[in-house]
Amino acid sequence: MACGSCGTGTPNGCKSNGGCSTGSCNRMNVHDWLMNLPFANPEGSCKIVEVSFNQGSRKDFFRNNSLQHYFKGELIAVEGVAGFDVGEVSLSGELVRLQMKKKNVNELNTDLKKILRKATQTDLDKMQENKAREKEVLIRSRAIARQLNLQMKIAEVEIQADGKKATFFYIADDRVDFRELIKVYATEFRVKVEMRQIGARQEAGKVGGIGSCGRELCCSTWLQDFKSVNTNAARYQNLSINQTKLSGQCGRLKCCLNYELDTYLDALQDFPENADFLETTKGRAMLIKKDIFKNLMWYTLPDSNRLYPLTIVRVKEILSLNHRGVKADELQPVELSANKSKELEPEFVDVVGQISLKSLDKSSKRKDKDNKHKANNKNIDRKQQGNRPEAPQSAEKQVSHFDRKKEKQQQNGGQNNNNNQQRIRQRPEPAENRKSRESQPQQQQPVKKIHVQPAEGPKESNPAIDNLASKILASTGSDKKPNNQKPQQQRNPNKGHQKKPPHHRRDEKKDKED
């Protein structure tokens, strides 16, 4: 049969066919380390097999009268009460004798029950059908015990594989008269009833769980013999008497308090007895704790909160003085120094000239230049923004950063073109061009005609002006334009130049005649 908690139906890791080492599959598991070793006398091997029931919560020994050898993890049918029961082989071979010796069971005892056969499929089906009833029977049995006002708690119910017997495990502080209870259970569940009283530690072992140490409970994995635990075990180990910390899942003192108790008792043999108080001139010193690892005893004086560590030799000396009726002048405590290694400070090393900082200087200069350039651009942008007229927010869109960049580039381009033209004009003319220009005869420039436009409004006749105009026209010649005369430039009406009044034009004509 495969592991009951495995989803695939077969164990993948241990390959033990259901006898896993964890408490979920089979509690109280034992490893058979002599299983694969050959023996000189096979006929003298142990004929007793250890069988576990209800996932290891209960174990018992059965005699194997057949020649078939059963291995660990196999399911077998054994003798039961008026029927049969199905269990799992937990141990076989020579290790069974050690377990029987430990539990004081005689191998030659004739009262040991026998192994019937290897479990068949019908046996397994019947066992699973009856095991499914255990939860319902447990709930109903607790309700019946409460109705009868019995001071007891039903911890677990185990039904035999054939369904003819049921064992009820209960917890009670005092004796309980359950004669009427057995009758009710027999009529209610139609089985033979057996009542077994267990303690709180056995209940915790059957339920299982995780302890404060982070591991599975000892009582559910390997611990079978429960010894009494006292608070003296905690005092010998210098533990604070805190009930919540010292109690386990069962509500009793932890069983692990006894694990190291013998070691502490052996170490405390070297410490002096009756050394709880020491008489000194400053007062009576009281013992606080004993350190078995450093062989020190810690005392305190009544007027101070300081702890004084004393050696065993010094405590014995003070005790001898107190027996004589003499009080010790001083306790002479031991100075405890931490054994931590001091960190060495690094020595001074001259590294001048070994590291060049030129690359850092160059990078810092570049950064300064970039920052200056960015600051200048920001100032220019602010000035330009200050000179621009403010546009209405609702009508016009805001100018983006890219549009401002384009305007800057256009302005810079126009300034560069003007500067280039000025440089070209300022260049000195070569001497050859100058001589050829002086040797050529100078041509008389034609006189431009001045067309006087009449002023708007009514014209006034002035004979003096008319005579002057006729003389000017006669001196200039015909009204036709010469070929080399340039066409008159048209005025741009958008420039907004105002027309000069007629009296200004007259003054200009007079100046030309003079």
- 447-468: per-residue pLDDT in tens? 444 444 444 444 455 676 777 7
pLDDT for the residue numbered 452: 46
Contacts of 195 (CB under 8 A, 6+ apart): 167, 168, 170, 178, 181, 182
Cα–Cα distance measured from residue 68 to residue 115, given in angstroms and rounded to the nearest whole number: 11
Query: Among 80, 75, 76, which residue's Cα sits nearest to residue 17?
Result: 75
Q: Give the pLDDT score at 37.
A: 74
Indicate the range of 60-69, 72-81, 91-100, 432-441 predicted with least confidence: 432-441
User: Is the Cβ–Cβ distance between 192 and 81 less than 8 Å?
Assistant: yes
Residue 479 in this model has a pLDDT that exceeds 90: no
How many other C-beta atoms are found inside a 10 Å radius of the C-beta of residue 221?
A: 17
Name 53's bridge partners. Answer: 58
What's at 449, amino acid-wise?
Answer: K
pTM: 0.54
Alpha helices per DSSP H over 309-357: 312-324
- Which of the pair, 490 or 436, is modelled with greater confidence? 436
Write out the E strands in 33-171. 48-53, 58-63, 75-80, 83-92, 113-118, 153-159, 165-171
Q: For residue 154, what pLDDT is reported?
A: 92
**Cβ proximity of 278 and 299 under 8 Å:** yes
Q: Which of 204-208, 247-251, 450-454, 475-479 has the lowest mean pLDDT?
A: 450-454
SS3 assignment, position 60: strand
Containing 288, the helix (H) or strand (E) segment is: strand 283-291
Q: How many CB atoms lie within 10 A of CB 319?
A: 17
Q: Are 328 and 321 in contact (CB under 8 A)?
A: yes
Specify whether the CB–CB gap between 92 and 99 falls below 8 A. no
pLDDT at 192: 92
Instruction: Give per-residue pLDDT as tens, 173-221.
Output: 888 888 899 999 999 999 999 999 998 888 888 888 898 888 888 888 8
The pLDDT tens digits of the residues spanning 154-178 come to 999 999 998 889 999 999 988 888 8
How would you classify the pairing of strands 165-171 and 192-197? parallel
Side-chain half-sphere of 426: how many Cα atoms within 13 Å? 6
Q: Compare 312 and 376 and report the one with higher pLDDT.
A: 312
